Structure 1
């Protein structure tokens, strides 16, 4: 009869070996084109990243990208808490954020993959379809301005942070500026409340969700004139690719995929895909400006 103590010890060792083996197997499955990777995504950039993910996973069936959309502040907190190793932001890491990873000897890989134009939207029934950066800044400082209420996606969002920096303010005024919870809510609110001006990533208007196509069809993108003496101060420009490429549209921001895996993995594969020709073509189709313009071959038949 087998000694019960020896049997229990044997089973404990066996379970430990099996558990360790399973852990090693799961790590081995993680490659540039296979495995599972959690990716934190700035909510204002969700449409373009969802497009990239769909094509990437269709191309590599063994890849599973789990997108977690958050406001910028929430995203950064999650990223620094190591809840994910890959994040997609509309800004680069700050010096303190870099040190967080460097102190852990984690190599940071950063790729700029697009330039986005922040769109100002209004109901198509309004008469004036132009605004100036000067008037936007007045609203953000709580001063008298001819503009209607500005509606943002989230108090902790990247768009709010961008406009605070634009106006040089630390807090938004109590009147004239309001924050909801998401870009879809901004679109719906502006649709329901003519006279208000919404602030969203242009991709939400160029490629809106199916359930918001009707609302977007009744909205217009406003032309924006820059401050005197700056590029784009000679006329009103919109966040379309030509005006973004020439930097004539004033409200521009770079988009980055930040990879802190520390080694080869699915996040690196996805970052390479977005920065590659196929990923850049998806950016081009989305209405944003690719970081590198994809080449185009033209065959001339004589």
Structure 2
């Protein structure tokens, strides 16, 4: 005869042990391993932020997957990554995927970044207006000779890292472009490959995330910046001096002078106070903002520095 009381006790004990085991396996802000998806244009930024965090917490580990923006967001939505670094917030359709699964999620803006326009040093042109950039994307301008003061000749090639990249998405959205079939757009596989292509092709304009070239202390930035010009861009229809042009570096990102600036966001689907939340807090409200500043970007919440003066 089965002892029902003992059977129930055994089941409850098993469930209790299973629950304890599940809780023990949950990551915390200081311990565990999670996967992060990130837009490839933010690779230098994400590498430095996660490396610094793991330096503080040796038991914390991040598996980072770099993909074009759309693919990176999709990776997070299907639960193959805990959070994603991206250049935009989720769309209503993307938000609905989390809502359907009753996942509240979290979106944190951590910095202002810029899409940098780069040309080869062999190209003597380093200034361009927003109107001229718009002309390149509408097809109104196809030749270097059509741009004011240009010393370069031949057709203009626009070079991006990927068909689904945040850099291309940003520029198309900026000028309300839906059809690129007639434009001279060339895509490669990474921001680094954009740099390499532009370096050897004077007729090309490359579009990259500025954090690839904005850290003056980073050997990679120095290597990539070699033989390149970062174009100055003016919002004036008829610029008259160099003071009308701005580059995508820290001060002009923060003062909102540079036209092609955008936010950097972390979108999380984390359902408990875990490693993802720890990283977000570090990046947005702790010394992580100093890394953002070091990279030449503008942090959403500047690091609070207190200076005491004594007589």
Please tell me whether the aligned partners of residues 152 and 199 of structure 1 are also in contact (alpha carbons under 8 angstroms): yes
> Does 2:192 align with 1:181?
no
> Does 2:270 align with 1:261?
yes
Q: How does 1:270-285 map to 2 (within 5 A)?
A: 270-285=279-294
Q: Which deviates further from its counterpart, 241-250 or 213-222? A: 213-222
> Does 2:232 align with 1:223?
yes
Aligned partner (choices 163, 183, 187) of residue 171 of structure 2: 163
Please give the per-residue CA displacement for 1:239-258, whole angstroms capped at 9, x wherever unaligned. Answer: 11111111111001101111
- Quote the offset at 1:164 in angstroms: 0.8
> Does 2:158 align with 1:150?
yes
- Quote the offset at 1:98 in angstroms: 1.1
Aligned partner (choices 18, 25, 28) of residue 27 of structure 1: 25
Task: Provide the alpha-carbon RMSD of the alignment.
Answer: 2.5
Aligned partner (choices 61, 64, 67) of residue 64 of structure 1: 61
- Quote the offset at 1:198 in angstroms: 0.7
Please give the alpha-carbon distance, in whole angstroms, between the structure 1 residues aligned to 2:117 and 2:25. Answer: 45
Aligned partner (choices 230, 241, 244) of residue 235 of structure 1: 244
**TM-score normalised according to structure 1 size:** 0.86
**Structure 1 partner of 2:260:** 251
**TM-score normalised according to structure 2 size:** 0.84
Please tell me whether the aligned partners of residues 135 and 145 of structure 1 are also in contact (alpha carbons under 8 angstroms): no
**Structure 2 partner of 1:40:** 37
Give the secondary structure class of the aligned counterpart of 2:244: coil
**Structure 2 partner of 1:7:** none
- Unaligned ranges ≥5, structure 2: 1-10, 145-155
Count of aligned pairs between the two proteins: 283
Please tell me whether the aligned partners of residues 135 and 146 of structure 1 are also in contact (alpha carbons under 8 angstroms): no
**Structure 1 partner of 2:7:** none
Give the secondary structure class of the aligned counterpart of 1:206: coil
Please give the alpha-carbon distance, in whole angstroms, between the structure 2 residues aligned to 1:163 and 1:227. Answer: 18
Please give the per-residue CA displacement for 1:22-79, whole angstroms capped at 9, x wherever unaligned. Answer: 9626624x10111001000010001001000110000000100111100012112222
Change (3 A) 1:241 1:214: closer
